[in-house]
Structure 1
């Protein structure tokens, strides 16, 4: 599948290794990038660098908005493994592996602990789903069922589990390209 792509001058080996391990994800992303390997790499690099951004916790959730799709990437299932959570408007976080988009095997986490969501643009939110041990953002406990806006770098606590939240967006770039194409 990658043989149709043209390679830029920069080193993209790390990005290709990531894509090889996540083949179910590659089809939509390659189509989304219109087979442009440079654009594909610009989306993959922040995903690969997310662990280096962690300053307050070992775990992270990274929201990626390409302008055409939005998905989450996390290491919550295992600190050394990256899990891609398919595109959606809302993702559930909790102990239930059957009902939650992001399952966390930790006793302080309720079966359905919280909801992460995406509104239009770069707007993301977290909402406690009535969990027993609560959800906090930057040490502020959230009220149940009330959405709380998230910013890049926020610290979320699901029960006793601390997670850094990162946002990577390519909306402005895609809109600029679209506007440039529209003027032709």
Structure 2
């Protein structure tokens, strides 16, 4: 397995160029295309993905430890197939669409100024997560631990308080309607 440390990769199209399985520590991937790329069995530790495109990559048994996705587009990213040992990710100014974090531990993760559309958070631990200025349209929260989760600046979420664990969860007065959607109320 290849070991790379403190390396920057610029504008590489991994959908046509072979991605080498390995351990990437403190690396930066800038403007790379990972569409349909096989990332299986690789490890990313303290890495940054900046302005990268991920469309349905194969990530089975891939490790993401202290990884930041900035200005990235992630479509069909199935995080539940990752190695969950020390799994830690954050997202800034990114788009996540039709992704799944099913049963993942995302405790203390940060989602900043991102569009999180049709993302599955079923059975997740989202305790102490911050959704700062995020659009959560069509995202699924079912049997999810939302203790101390911050939704104060989030929009378009729909959370059923009866099917999720809410304690000290933060909302603003303006977005409380996201807790009442299942009741088919007209809130004015």
TM-score, structure 2 normalization: 0.27
- Which structure shows the bigger proportion of residues in helix conformation? 1
Higher relative CO (CA 8 A, sep ≥ 6), structure 1 or 2? 1
